[in-house]
Structure 1
Amino acid sequence: MTTQTVTPTAPAATGERSSLLRLYLSRGILAVAWALAFAGAHEDLNAPAITLLVVYPLVDAVSSLIDYRATPNGSERRVTAFNGMLSTLAALAIGIAGADGVAAVLHVFGAWAVVSGAAQLTVGLRRRGPELGKQWPTLISGGLSFLVGITYNIQAGGDHPSLDVLSVYATGGGVWFILQALLLGWKSRQLRARTV
């Protein structure tokens, strides 16, 4: 695989950093806000709880669409498009699973977490160049999503499945997105300082 070297001050790289910074920061704040709302609304798997469950992957789908539009053509863009479609399907599946109870919801959410975590890992690996930093928060977040999704499916098959874990999942994901945004901001300041 050949890699194209882009200078840190290239307008395309600067624009992509800025776009990703805003996207990651917004995504992180929304995830933490969702976690707070869901923590107080999931005691019963009723309409408000199911609505929140459907909203979470939809936020990811919209984020993927924004990321897709800002990403140059290539394999990274295709993975982003796949993740957006996957998150949309996950939202529909979670809405349907809500009628079957907590275990069904946890199964669907867990399966989505596994596949979307793998997609996030792939995108993070492709963005590890000098223009966008090392992407370690994205890589850790994707890896944890993958592993946690497996445990959710195991829990769903147990005697007492619970949706309590989803607030923790969203909070963790939100924190990693915010850290990635801060890292991109620091990288931008570093590169600007070198050009002065």
Structure 2
Amino acid sequence: MSTNTRTPRANGERSSLLKLYLVRGILAVVWAAVFAVAHDTLDAKAIALLVVYPLIDAVSSVIDYRALPDDFERGLTAFNGALSALAAPAAGIAGAGGVAAALSVFGVWAVLSGAAQVVVGVRRRGPELGRQWPMLIAGGLSFVVGIFYNIQAAGDEPSLDVLSVYATGGGVFFIVQAGLLAWRARQRRADAV
């Protein structure tokens, strides 16, 4: 779908995305702060947090899915939501198996969800939806970092320390994208006056 055909729904979609991105970003940063102090031992609390992070993404995808028209972007958002919903219990099961297994599952999820995020960002990159550069960068980094996580998981000293950095970075990109959408909405209102 070309960006020109998106104009009639752009205001509503932009408002919906702004709220979604802002809440998603704040939740990621909060999760990162809690996980940073809770993962020293891979106990029930840390494993529960490993399950929660993909669930945040799954719920965000469901909210986004409901706001989209029936097109390719909606299907990809549904895929990402289902992937995240599957990643949550997989992370919990893997967490019970140890740091390497948990990091590997998180890495596979990061690769796949990052690729999906890049495709959605490309489809939303028109000016009416804030160009989506933060989402494109975050998705690309998720893809690359996920590969790194799997390499690290296969190494001698895998560590979950990197997950807090991952979540913080992703959260910041979501918050920046929300800011760009808010700026664009303010600019449109000023232009209309």
Same fold (TM over 0.5): yes
How far, CA to CA, are the matches of 2:125 and 2:101 in structure 1? 36
Number of residues of Structure 1 aligned to a counterpart in Structure 2: 193
How far, CA to CA, are the matches of 1:52 and 1:122 in structure 2? 27
Partner of 1:27: 24
**1:173 counterpart = 2:160:** no
Partner of 2:191: 194
Give the aligned residue type for 1:38: F
How far, CA to CA, are the matches of 1:120 and 1:4 in structure 2? 17
Q: Is the 8 A contact 2:130 2:177 kept in 1?
A: no
Which structure shows the bigger proportion of residues in helix conformation? 2
Task: Give the TM-score of the pair, scaled to structure 1.
Answer: 0.96
Structure 1: which 5+ residue stretches go unaligned? none
Q: CA deviation at 1:130?
A: 2.4
How far, CA to CA, are the matches of 1:122 and 1:7 in structure 2? 16
Q: Is the 8 A contact 1:61 1:83 kept in 2?
A: yes
Structure 2: which 5+ residue stretches go unaligned? none
Identical aligned residues as a percent: 70
Write the deviation string for residues 122-174 of structure 1: whole angstroms up to 9, x where unpaired: 00000011210211000000000000000000000000000000000000000
Task: Give the TM-score of the pair, scaled to structure 2.
Answer: 0.97
How far, CA to CA, are the matches of 1:7 and 1:174 in structure 2? 26
The correspondence of residues 6-155 of structure 1 with structure 2, limited to 5 A, is 6=5, 10=8, 12-155=9-152
Where does structure 1 differ by over 2 angstroms across 4 or more consecutive aligned residues?
none
Q: CA deviation at 1:193?
A: 1.1
Q: CA deviation at 1:3?
A: 2.2
- Secondary structure at the aligned position of 2:70 is classed as coil
How far, CA to CA, are the matches of 2:116 and 2:133 in structure 1? 15
Write the deviation string for residues 18-38 of structure 1: whole angstroms up to 9, x where unpaired: 000000000000000000000
Partner of 2:4: 5
How far, CA to CA, are the matches of 1:134 and 1:119 in structure 2? 17
Say what the alpha-carbon RMSD is for the aligned residues.
Answer: 1.1
Write the deviation string for residues 5-63 of structure 1: whole angstroms up to 9, x where unpaired: 2485x4x2111100000000000000000000000100000000000000000000000
In structure 2, the CA distance between the partners of 1:101 and 1:7, relative to structure 1 (3 Å rule), is closer
How far, CA to CA, are the matches of 1:144 and 1:35 in structure 2? 17
In structure 2, the CA distance between the partners of 1:156 and 1:170, relative to structure 1 (3 Å rule), is same
Q: Is the 8 A contact 2:87 2:109 kept in 1?
A: yes
How far, CA to CA, are the matches of 2:49 and 2:127 in structure 1? 37
How far, CA to CA, are the matches of 1:7 and 1:159 in structure 2? 49
Q: Is the 8 A contact 2:3 2:124 kept in 1?
A: no
Q: Is the 8 A contact 1:45 1:101 kept in 2?
A: yes
Give the aligned residue type for 1:187: R
